[in-house]
Structure 1
Amino acid sequence: MQAMLALVGEGHVAPSAEDVAARAGVGLRTVFRLFKDMESLYAEMTLAVARRFEAMAAPFASREWREQLAEMTERRLTTYEMLMPFKRAGDAHRHASATLQAHYASTLAVMRARLRGLLPAAIAGDPLRFEALDLWLSFDAWERLRGEQGLEAAAARAVVEAQIARLAAD
């Protein structure tokens, strides 16, 4: 698993079983003895990466919702930046894996529920504002800003924070 995580962390979106075996210094049979197929290897990687997302679920230091929203924004953006290569690798295989699809859906549901739970009713109940906040706090928005638009992390963070502030304003 460490070999898989290292390869993906270096930007290899779809390392082969041969790549994993070579990095781990083991034979190809060993890789498949530990993991039935590449889907199970990616599923295991997804679970390992998911453990790193646990910091996002820690209790907030603040009791005021806007400060909690700022904490949530900070946690998510920091986590997205750290886990970007792993998320991309998982996304590349999600369409072919029921396990990855289920994990992704579950993660999104938890993140949306956590966001909805900290917002005042006027915002949580406003579909346009809630969906826009959820979008700006998503990995998809972060990846677009960092990848396709080529923004440095600080500039991407400024864009997200500005949009969150606008949507959270009275």
Structure 2
Amino acid sequence: MAVTKLPPALAKQAPLGDGRRERSRSSRAKIVAALLDLIGKGDVSPSAARVAEVAGVGLRSVFRHFEDMDALYREMGEVIEARVLPILLQPPVGETWKDKVFDLAERRAKLFETIMPYRISANLRRFESTYLMHDYRRMLRFESESIEAHLPQSVRTDATAAGGLNVILSFQTWRLLRHDQELPVEAAKAVVRRLLGAALAELPDG
């Protein structure tokens, strides 16, 4: 069977189009990677100009790929969620519900440590961003619901008990211990375990 060749003009345009798309994907990835790198290294509120500089692209390129900084933060959030998904999908282990809550605390320490600079950065911007405020509230709901899923009915319906456990195991508590009080990871985990142990001791076993 004869192979039909593209006309010379189209033959020249096809690689150019593919190359253009590839450059566009590469630039977009560099921009997201630059934001992740800057925030991960402590610049929790980088400007678009700084992101462009680290990405090695022009400022116009940032806003050609992303409508605004919200859109860039949205894509960053997707990258972070994909990174921590294996931790999120692992169910806590233990013979009793209290054992599972302790295991959940251990897993959350690992999770929060991974996402801490990015959550801090998003929290700083959420009062100026409808999207980031919505995402903040979504994460609060997730934190609460993922604890309640492992509580017995008697504890789940006790608003004071459930609320207390939610505070102890929250990102805000972890941030306070690690970022504000500057405790090492193991020291912060020890504080959480002690608070959690005291709270669980007052609750029924089943």
Regarding TM over 0.5, the answer is yes
What residue number does 2:66 align with? 35
1:118-129 matches, cutoff 5 A: 118-129=150-161
Q: Is the 8 A contact 1:13 1:85 kept in 2?
A: yes
Structure 1: 5+ residue stretches without partners: none
Shift in Å at residue 69 of structure 1? 0.8
Shift in Å at residue 126 of structure 1? 1.7
Q: Supply the RMSD in Å over aligned alpha carbons.
A: 1.5
- Give distance in 1, aligned partners of 2:77 and 2:184: 26
Shift in Å at residue 166 of structure 1? 1.4
- Give distance in 2, aligned partners of 1:151 and 1:108: 23
**Pick aligned residue for 2:133 from 90, 93, 101:** 101
**Pick aligned residue for 1:84 from 116, 121, 129:** 116
Q: Percent identity?
A: 35
Shift in Å at residue 63 of structure 1? 5.1
What residue number does 1:3 align with? 34
Shift in Å at residue 9 of structure 1? 0.3
Q: Is the 8 A contact 1:8 1:89 kept in 2?
A: yes
Shift in Å at residue 28 of structure 1? 1.0
Relative contact order: is structure 1 or structure 2 higher (C-alpha 8 Å, sep ≥ 6)? 1
Q: Is the 8 A contact 1:46 1:90 kept in 2?
A: no
Bigger Cα displacement from structure 2, 35-44 vs 136-145: 35-44
TM-score, normalised to structure 2's length? 0.77
- Give distance in 2, aligned partners of 1:156 and 1:59: 22
TM-score, normalised to structure 1's length? 0.92
Q: Which amino acid aligns with 1:159?
A: V
What residue number does 2:166 align with? 134
Structure 2: 5+ residue stretches without partners: 1-31
